[in-house]
Amino acid sequence: MSNIDVEILRSFYENPDNYFSGEDIARKLGLSRTAIWSHIQELKAAGLPIEAVPNLGYKLLGQSPNLIAADIKAQLNTRIIGREVLVFQETDSTQRIVEQFARDGVAEGLVVFAENQKQGKGRLGRKWVSPAKSGLWFSTLLRPGWRPDKVTRLTVLAAVAIMRAIENETGLEIEIKYPNDLMIKGRKLCGILAEMLTEVDYVQYVVLGIGINVNTLLSDYPDEIQPIVTSLRIATGEIFGRSLLAAKVLSSLDHVYREVQNKGFSTIAEEWSDRCSTLGKKITAIFGNEKVRGTAIAIDEEGALVIQMDDGTIKTLRGGDITLEKE
Ligand code: BTN
């Protein structure tokens, strides 16, 4: 897919009710009508429902069921995240692909999606189930220039950004479960994984991996996961256009990332702790090999969870894993 495809699609999105003649688009982009025709054929073949009416022109009738890089880019309005967008049909893990690009020195902002991941990675060495063509499975390359202890901020800001985008698009109410799972009514909708290459006091790059269960059904998951998982489709009964949702999520991520870079972390941290369903709850937390019980009482300025143990002592958990105790 090329920039010309992106420009053609942008024209459609700018005036969604209009028909565009091949001649108009050709003039606007400085190309021949035949060249435009062949780009339109390519976009149709990728799954975009483009209607061609003699004497009127072309019109985009709706969204594609496929994830299409040009379609995501045409709906994006970002400065950093999504500078480059790639969609792989199948890979082991988008984390590995982006890490490779990072090692090759690619600039921050690259986003790689996969329609299907054979070995999707979750936090703490777990697997991430990525049913084909029904979610948003992607990784973003970031070079925030921070010290390693500040990286928790990235997962926190990502949780807030994704929560905002999904709530805006769907009207659903999203909860945050510490550290950065997005949930609907206690079931997991989205997971975030940050992997990095770091020196003692400087982070070279972070690969921020995000998995959002969009159009998946419960039957797409192994039996043991079915009781704890959800998707936008399971929660609403609707099927969502993934390229549009991807563009909204990336735009929100770009906005929040730049806000934290320019104005600091405090406003985002506040929104996160306001929406974090873990605070005030009795939890069991795992620190390395140690399992402890207490109450989650606060989130500190770096995004770590402050826990008051049953014996009154205070511990701070950065990342790690918690389970909520049944009330
Ligand atoms: C978690 O909650 O355990 C984090 C899950 C992160 C999953 C995403 S899907 C896209 C990216 N590629 C991967 O292999 N994992 C992340």
For residue 180, the model assigns a pLDDT of 83
3-state secondary structure of 39: helix
Please state, in angstroms and rounded to a whole number, the distance separating the CA atoms of residues 158 and 192: 8
Q: What is the pTM of this model?
A: 0.93
Region of 173 on the Ramachandran plot (φ > 0 left; ψ -120 to 50 alpha; else beta): beta
Q: Mean pLDDT across the chain, nearest whole number?
A: 93
Q: How far is the CA of 302 from the centre of ligand 1 (A)?
A: 22
pLDDT digits (tens, 9 = 90+) for 214-228: 999 999 999 999 999
Given the CA of residue 130, which atom of ligand 1 is nearest to it? Answer: 9
Ligand 1, CB within 6 Å, residue ranges: 93-95, 117, 120-123, 126, 128, 130, 137-139, 181, 191-193, 209-211
Q: How far is the CA of 210 from the centre of ligand 1 (A)?
A: 5
CA distances from 292 to 78, 289, 327 (A): 42, 10, 17
Mutating to test ligand 1, I would choose from 67, 88, 118, 137 the residue with most ligand atoms within 8 A of its C-beta, which is 137
Mutating to test ligand 1, I would choose from 86, 95, 112, 136 the residue with most ligand atoms within 8 A of its C-beta, which is 95
CA distances from 192 to 8, 16, 65, 96, 228 (A): 33, 34, 24, 15, 16
Which pair of structure tokens corresponds to residue 99? 């890490």
Q: Are 201 and 150 in contact (CB under 8 A)?
A: no
Across residues 154-180, what is the average pLDDT? 94
Other CB atoms within 10 A of residue 162 CB:
26
Per the model's pLDDT, the better-predicted residue between 287 and 16 turns out to be 16
For residue 137, the model assigns a pLDDT of 98
Of the candidates 244, 233, 249, the one whose C-alpha atom is nearest the C-alpha of residue 162 is 249
**pLDDT band at residue 270 under the 50/70/90 scheme:** confident
Which pair of structure tokens corresponds to residue 97? 């692909």
Q: Is 192 a residue whose pLDDT tops 90?
A: yes
- In percent, the amount of the chain with pLDDT more than 90 equals 78
Residue 17's contacts (CB-CB under 8 Å, 6 or more residues apart) are none
pLDDT digits (tens, 9 = 90+) for 65-113: 999 999 999 999 899 999 999 999 999 999 999 999 999 999 999 999 9
- In percent, the amount of the chain with pLDDT more than 70 equals 99
3-state secondary structure of 170: helix
Please state, in angstroms and rounded to a whole number, the distance separating the CA atoms of residues 317 and 285: 8
* Angle separating helix axes 152-170 and 242-263, nearest 10 degrees: 140
Please state, in angstroms and rounded to a whole number, the distance separating the CA atoms of residues 3 and 111: 16
pLDDT digits (tens, 9 = 90+) for 44-64: 999 999 999 999 999 999 999
Q: Is 295 a residue whose pLDDT tops 70?
A: yes
Q: Is 327 a residue whose pLDDT tops 60?
A: no
Residues for the chain: how many in total?
Answer: 327
Q: Which strands form 111-114's sheet, in the order they lie side by side? A: 85-88, 111-114, 135-142, 203-213, 187-198, 181-184, 175-177
**pLDDT band at residue 1 under the 50/70/90 scheme:** low
Ordered domains of the chain (ranges, CATH):
3-60 (1.10.10.10), 69-275 (3.30.930.10), 282-324 (2.30.30.100)
Q: Is 144 a residue whose pLDDT tops 80?
A: yes
Please state, in angstroms and rounded to a whole number, the distance separating the CA atoms of residues 61 and 53: 12
